Amino acid sequence: MFLKLIARVIVTLSSNTNPVQIAAGVASGLLLALLPAGNLLWILLFLLLFLSKAHYGMALVSMAVFKLAAPAAAGPLDALGWTVLNAPVLRPAFTALYGMPVAPLTRFNNTLVTGGLLAGIVLWAPAFLAARAGVSAYRARIAPRIAGSKLVTALKKVPLVSALAKAVGAAAGIAGSAE
Protein backbone atom coordinates (compact mmCIF):
# COMPACT_ATOMS: atom_id res chain seq x y z
CA MET A 1 0.00 0.00 0.00
CA PHE A 2 2.84 2.37 0.87
CA LEU A 3 4.50 1.53 -2.47
CA LYS A 4 1.30 2.36 -4.32
CA LEU A 5 1.12 5.71 -2.52
CA ILE A 6 4.69 6.56 -3.50
CA ALA A 7 3.96 5.43 -7.04
CA ARG A 8 0.91 7.66 -7.28
CA VAL A 9 2.84 10.69 -6.01
CA ILE A 10 5.55 10.06 -8.61
CA VAL A 11 2.94 9.64 -11.33
CA THR A 12 1.24 12.86 -10.27
CA LEU A 13 4.51 14.78 -10.31
CA SER A 14 5.42 13.33 -13.70
CA SER A 15 1.99 13.60 -15.32
CA ASN A 16 0.77 16.51 -17.33
CA THR A 17 -1.38 17.70 -14.43
CA ASN A 18 -1.04 21.46 -14.12
CA PRO A 19 1.63 22.33 -11.51
CA VAL A 20 -0.72 25.00 -10.16
CA GLN A 21 -3.29 22.33 -9.26
CA ILE A 22 -0.67 20.19 -7.54
CA ALA A 23 0.70 23.19 -5.64
CA ALA A 24 -2.81 24.23 -4.55
CA GLY A 25 -3.34 20.71 -3.24
CA VAL A 26 -0.10 20.77 -1.25
CA ALA A 27 -0.86 24.23 0.22
CA SER A 28 -4.43 23.24 1.08
CA GLY A 29 -3.14 20.09 2.76
CA LEU A 30 -0.87 22.26 4.91
CA LEU A 31 -3.80 24.48 5.93
CA LEU A 32 -5.94 21.48 6.88
CA ALA A 33 -3.06 19.87 8.77
CA LEU A 34 -2.55 22.95 10.95
CA LEU A 35 -6.21 22.98 11.99
CA PRO A 36 -7.37 20.48 14.58
CA ALA A 37 -10.01 18.21 13.05
CA GLY A 38 -13.41 17.66 14.59
CA ASN A 39 -14.95 21.08 14.15
CA LEU A 40 -17.21 22.69 11.58
CA LEU A 41 -14.45 24.99 10.30
CA TRP A 42 -12.22 22.03 9.33
CA ILE A 43 -15.14 20.26 7.66
CA LEU A 44 -16.10 23.37 5.67
CA LEU A 45 -12.50 23.92 4.51
CA PHE A 46 -12.23 20.24 3.57
CA LEU A 47 -15.43 20.47 1.51
CA LEU A 48 -14.24 23.73 -0.06
CA LEU A 49 -11.14 21.88 -1.25
CA PHE A 50 -13.35 19.64 -3.39
CA LEU A 51 -15.02 22.67 -4.98
CA SER A 52 -11.64 23.97 -6.12
CA LYS A 53 -9.37 22.70 -8.87
CA ALA A 54 -6.70 21.66 -6.39
CA HIS A 55 -5.28 18.16 -6.80
CA TYR A 56 -7.18 16.15 -4.19
CA GLY A 57 -4.66 13.34 -3.93
CA MET A 58 -1.76 15.68 -3.27
CA ALA A 59 -3.89 17.55 -0.74
CA LEU A 60 -4.57 14.35 1.19
CA VAL A 61 -0.94 13.17 1.00
CA SER A 62 0.44 16.56 2.07
CA MET A 63 -2.15 16.81 4.84
CA ALA A 64 -1.04 13.43 6.18
CA VAL A 65 2.63 14.41 6.02
CA PHE A 66 2.12 17.83 7.61
CA LYS A 67 -0.20 16.34 10.25
CA LEU A 68 2.78 14.32 11.49
CA ALA A 69 4.71 17.55 12.06
CA ALA A 70 1.76 19.52 13.45
CA PRO A 71 2.32 18.55 17.12
CA ALA A 72 5.72 20.25 16.96
CA ALA A 73 3.96 23.47 15.95
CA ALA A 74 1.25 23.24 18.64
CA GLY A 75 3.02 25.58 21.07
CA PRO A 76 3.48 28.49 18.64
CA LEU A 77 -0.01 27.96 17.19
CA ASP A 78 -1.52 28.02 20.68
CA ALA A 79 0.37 31.23 21.52
CA LEU A 80 -0.75 32.87 18.27
CA GLY A 81 -4.36 31.88 18.86
CA TRP A 82 -4.27 33.09 22.47
CA THR A 83 -2.83 36.46 21.37
CA VAL A 84 -5.54 36.96 18.75
CA LEU A 85 -8.43 35.76 20.91
CA ASN A 86 -7.36 38.00 23.81
CA ALA A 87 -6.79 41.13 21.74
CA PRO A 88 -8.96 43.84 23.33
CA VAL A 89 -9.87 45.26 19.93
CA LEU A 90 -11.27 41.93 18.73
CA ARG A 91 -13.06 40.89 21.94
CA PRO A 92 -16.46 42.46 21.01
CA ALA A 93 -16.37 40.76 17.59
CA PHE A 94 -15.57 37.38 19.12
CA THR A 95 -18.29 37.84 21.74
CA ALA A 96 -20.85 38.61 19.03
CA LEU A 97 -19.63 35.70 16.92
CA TYR A 98 -19.92 33.30 19.83
CA GLY A 99 -23.54 34.40 20.32
CA MET A 100 -24.48 33.31 16.79
CA PRO A 101 -26.22 29.94 16.40
CA VAL A 102 -23.69 28.01 14.27
CA ALA A 103 -20.42 29.88 14.88
CA PRO A 104 -19.49 28.07 18.12
CA LEU A 105 -19.47 24.79 16.17
CA THR A 106 -16.40 26.08 14.33
CA ARG A 107 -14.58 26.18 17.70
CA PHE A 108 -13.03 29.49 16.68
CA ASN A 109 -12.66 30.26 20.40
CA ASN A 110 -10.12 27.42 20.74
CA THR A 111 -6.59 28.84 20.66
CA LEU A 112 -5.27 25.98 18.50
CA VAL A 113 -8.07 26.40 15.96
CA THR A 114 -7.57 30.17 15.70
CA GLY A 115 -3.79 29.92 15.63
CA GLY A 116 -3.85 27.07 13.10
CA LEU A 117 -6.26 28.93 10.84
CA LEU A 118 -4.22 32.13 10.89
CA ALA A 119 -0.92 30.31 10.39
CA GLY A 120 -2.43 28.22 7.59
CA ILE A 121 -3.74 31.30 5.81
CA VAL A 122 -0.38 33.06 6.13
CA LEU A 123 1.60 29.98 5.04
CA TRP A 124 -0.71 29.03 2.16
CA ALA A 125 0.84 31.35 -0.43
CA PRO A 126 4.50 30.50 0.38
CA ALA A 127 3.65 26.77 0.41
CA PHE A 128 1.86 27.16 -2.93
CA LEU A 129 4.79 29.01 -4.53
CA ALA A 130 7.34 26.53 -3.15
CA ALA A 131 5.33 23.51 -4.31
CA ARG A 132 4.79 25.00 -7.77
CA ALA A 133 8.51 25.70 -8.11
CA GLY A 134 9.31 22.23 -6.79
CA VAL A 135 7.03 20.49 -9.30
CA SER A 136 8.44 22.52 -12.19
CA ALA A 137 12.02 21.85 -11.08
CA TYR A 138 11.30 18.15 -10.65
CA ARG A 139 9.82 17.87 -14.13
CA ALA A 140 12.47 19.95 -15.86
CA ARG A 141 15.66 18.84 -14.16
CA ILE A 142 15.30 16.01 -11.71
CA ALA A 143 13.04 13.46 -13.45
CA PRO A 144 15.07 13.24 -16.69
CA ARG A 145 18.34 12.91 -14.81
CA ILE A 146 17.00 10.23 -12.51
CA ALA A 147 15.44 8.23 -15.36
CA GLY A 148 18.67 8.15 -17.35
CA SER A 149 21.12 7.48 -14.55
CA LYS A 150 23.16 4.30 -14.26
CA LEU A 151 21.98 3.88 -10.68
CA VAL A 152 18.34 3.66 -11.76
CA THR A 153 19.09 1.04 -14.38
CA ALA A 154 20.97 -0.98 -11.75
CA LEU A 155 18.22 -0.52 -9.16
CA LYS A 156 15.57 -1.74 -11.59
CA LYS A 157 17.06 -5.19 -11.15
CA VAL A 158 16.28 -5.16 -7.39
CA PRO A 159 12.93 -6.91 -6.71
CA LEU A 160 11.55 -4.16 -4.42
CA VAL A 161 12.38 -1.45 -6.94
CA SER A 162 10.98 -3.59 -9.73
CA ALA A 163 7.71 -3.86 -7.78
CA LEU A 164 7.68 -0.08 -7.34
CA ALA A 165 8.27 0.41 -11.08
CA LYS A 166 5.37 -1.91 -11.85
CA ALA A 167 3.16 0.02 -9.41
CA VAL A 168 4.15 3.31 -11.08
CA GLY A 169 3.37 1.82 -14.47
CA ALA A 170 0.01 0.56 -13.28
CA ALA A 171 -0.80 3.90 -11.66
CA ALA A 172 0.26 5.71 -14.84
CA GLY A 173 -2.07 3.48 -16.84
CA ILE A 174 -4.92 4.25 -14.49
CA ALA A 175 -4.14 7.99 -14.56
CA GLY A 176 -3.88 7.96 -18.34
CA SER A 177 -7.23 6.24 -18.78
CA ALA A 178 -8.94 8.68 -16.37
CA GLU A 179 -7.87 11.78 -18.30
- Tell me what the pLDDT averaged over the chain comes to: 85
Q: What is the pTM of this model?
A: 0.77
Q: How many helices (H) and strands (E) does the chain have?
A: 10, 0
Please tell me the distance from the alpha carbon of residue 34 to that of residue 13, in angstroms, as a whole number: 24
Please tell me the distance from the alpha carbon of residue 49 to that of residue 60, in angstroms, as a whole number: 10
β strands within 131-170, DSSP E = none
Minimum mean pLDDT range among 42-51, 99-108, 165-174: 165-174
Based on C-alpha coordinates, what's the Rg of the chain?
A: 20
Residue among 88, 75, 90 nearest 34 (CA) = 75
Residue among 121, 93, 124, 123 nearest 109 (CA) = 93
Question: Taking 60 as the threshold, does the pLDDT of residue 138 lie above it?
Answer: yes
Question: Taking 50 as the threshold, does the pLDDT of residue 34 lie above it?
Answer: yes
Q: What domain range is 37 assigned to?
A: 2-178
Question: Taking 70 as the threshold, does the pLDDT of residue 72 lie above it?
Answer: yes
What is the pLDDT at residue 29? 95
Burial class (CB in 10 A: 0-12, 13-18, 19+), 14: middle
Please tell me the distance from the alpha carbon of residue 125 to that of residue 23, in angstroms, as a whole number: 10
Split into its structural domains, the chain has a count of: 1
What is the pLDDT averaged over residues 33-57?
Answer: 92
Please tell me the distance from the alpha carbon of residue 121 to that of residue 125, in angstroms, as a whole number: 8
Question: Taking 80 as the threshold, does the pLDDT of residue 148 lie above it?
Answer: no
pLDDT higher for 96 or 157? 96
Question: Taking 60 as the threshold, does the pLDDT of residue 134 lie above it?
Answer: yes
What is the pLDDT averaged over residues 32-48?
Answer: 93
Cα Dmax for the chain? 67
Neighbours of 121 (CB within 10 A): 11
